[in-house]
């Protein structure tokens, strides 16, 4: 670990959910320290779930950190990528648990990005009707968003994250050290989820991101530490008020309605999740403008920031004959749709989000104006 990283203090953000409360530990050099997991339940066995990309980098180090706590530390290695967030991959985890005789106290450790975290959490929620699990996110996107808040799921060919459960982890370990191995494209994808917190909840944080986006893209440790901590604080506050997305928590989906349509329409994995969200935020901002909630200058400001983060701002053509119609079709099967009405997260001035429907005609205008 370099001196700059080791000098960073370890922060802790608490998710306040009564008996389901848990901490998010944020710092450098955390994931392979045995004491990081001191509060995690003991058991006869643990199962590390990771993927083919990360197993050679980190699996053995995590095994060693857990060896003094669990008599057996098993590992299952999943294929890498959004395209594998499926029933078939989920069953690989169940196969590993059942073939090793794992009981209801077995602790699962999700060592990876959003796909590994989501699928491990869903496995933990389902195996023997619920076993403990720990999130060890290895991407910026997972550290600031998907590992926090207990959303677990797999994809269906007709929609993203349509099969899953709300199930909280025991602990989230955001080790800033692992971000150093992230490819630039993955780092940019994570910045989409950082950026979203500004428009929906914290105008001052948006100012800070604009001032530090170049440092974030360069992997500056201090900038990343602040971005992860502030993002987790905002998400913890929202989740603590609305764990199961009955109302307020929906604002965390800013950019996701359009973004999920892009991901599903292109085929999972063609665009990274953060790329879909980045472009989706621009489209949602344009829809906000057409509904009189944002002015053109604010839309341009957000578009410029998304672009500076290395993310796409022009949407793909999903159907040459009727592109807006295809977007609408995909968005109607989004989890946020109600009785066929699409619910959009819109920005009513920087720092405040609202959730509401919009006329199809306006959505069509936005899609036409936003796509190549």
Q: Quick check: helix, strand or coil at residue 151? A: strand
Does residue 193 carry a catalytic annotation? yes
Distances in Å between the Cα of 12 and the Cα atoms of 68, 141, 268 are 24, 18, 33
Distances in Å between the Cα of 143 and the Cα atoms of 149, 175, 191, 277, 313 are 11, 9, 11, 16, 23
User: Which entry of 74, 256, 286, 343 is annotated as an active-site residue?
Assistant: 256
What DSSP line would sit under 64-130, residue for residue?
HHHTTTEEEEEEEEEPPSGGG-SHHHHHHHHHHHHHTT--TT-EEEEEESHHHHHHHHHHHHHGGG-
Does residue 19 carry a catalytic annotation? no
Place of tokens 């395209």: 83
User: Which entry of 186, 233, 243, 245 is annotated as an active-site residue?
Assistant: 245
Residues 208 and 231: their CA atoms lie apart, in Å, by: 12
User: Which entry of 151, 230, 335, 343 is annotated as an active-site residue?
Assistant: 151
User: Which entry of 235, 286, 290, 343 is annotated as an active-site residue?
Assistant: 235
Does residue 260 carry a catalytic annotation? yes
Does residue 196 carry a catalytic annotation? no
C-beta atoms surrounding 347 within 10 Å? 25
User: Which entry of 160, 253, 323, 343 is annotated as an active-site residue?
Assistant: 253
User: Which entry of 74, 273, 286, 335 is annotated as an active-site residue?
Assistant: 273
Is the separation of the CB atoms in 345 and 250 below 8 Å?
yes
Does residue 249 carry a catalytic annotation? yes
Is the separation of the CB atoms in 22 and 172 below 8 Å?
yes
User: Which entry of 19, 88, 129, 338 is annotated as an active-site residue?
Assistant: 129
Angle, to 10 degrees, between the axis of helix 360-370 and the axis of helix 323-332? 120
Does residue 245 carry a catalytic annotation? yes
Secondary element (H or E) of residue 190: helix 184-201
User: Which entry of 85, 249, 286, 343 is annotated as an active-site residue?
Assistant: 249
Does residue 88 carry a catalytic annotation? no
User: Which entry of 230, 260, 286, 290 is annotated as an active-site residue?
Assistant: 260
Does residue 151 carry a catalytic annotation? yes
Which residues have a catalytic role annotated?
129, 151, 193, 235, 245, 249, 253, 256, 260, 273
């Amino acid at each position: 670990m370099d001196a700059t990283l080791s000098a960073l203090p370890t922060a802790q953000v608490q998710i306040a959910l009564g008996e389901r409360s848990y901490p998010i530990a944020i710092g450098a050099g955390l994931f392979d320290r045995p004491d990081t997991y001191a509060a995690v339940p003991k058991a006869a066995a643990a199962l590390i779930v990771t993927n083919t990309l990360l197993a050679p980098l980190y699996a053995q180090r995590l095994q060693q950190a857990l060896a003094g706590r669990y008599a057996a530390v098993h590992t299952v290695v999943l294929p890498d990528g959004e395209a594998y967030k499926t029933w078939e991959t989920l069953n690989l985890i169940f196969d590993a648990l059942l073939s090793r005789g794992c009981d209801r106290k077995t602790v699962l450790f999700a060592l990876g990005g959003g796909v590994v975290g989501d699928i491990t959490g869903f496995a933990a929620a389902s195996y023997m009707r619920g076993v403990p699990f720990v999130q060890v996110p290895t991407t910026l996107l997972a550290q600031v968003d998907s590992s926090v808040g207990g959303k677990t799921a797999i994809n269906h060919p007709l929609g993203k994250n349509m099969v899953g459960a709300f199930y909280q982890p025991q602990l989230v370990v955001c080790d800033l050290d692992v971000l150093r191995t992230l490819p630039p494209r993955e780092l940019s994808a994570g910045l989409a989820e950082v950026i979203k917190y500004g428009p929906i909840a914290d105008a001052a944080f948006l100012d800070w991101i604009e001032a530090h986006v170049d440092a974030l893209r360069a992997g500056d440790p201090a900038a990343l530490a602040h971005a992860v901590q502030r993002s987790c604080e905002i998400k913890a506050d929202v989740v603590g008020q609305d764990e199961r997305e009955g109302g307020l928590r929906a604002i965390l989906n800013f950019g996701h309605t359009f973004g999920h349509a892009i991901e599903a329409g292109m085929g999972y994995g063609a665009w990274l999740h953060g790329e879909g969200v980045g472009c989706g935020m621009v489209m949602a901002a344009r829809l906000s403008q057409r509904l009189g909630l944002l002015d053109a200058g604010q839309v341009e400001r957000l578009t410029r920031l998304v672009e500076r983060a290395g993310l796409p701002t022009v949407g793909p053509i999903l159907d040459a004959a009727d592109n807006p119609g295809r977007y609408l079709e995909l968005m109607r099967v989004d989890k946020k749709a109600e009785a066929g009405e699409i619910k959009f997260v819109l920005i009513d001035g920087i720092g405040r989000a609202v959730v509401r429907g919009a006329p199809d005609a306006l959505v069509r205008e936005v899609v036409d104006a936003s796509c190549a």
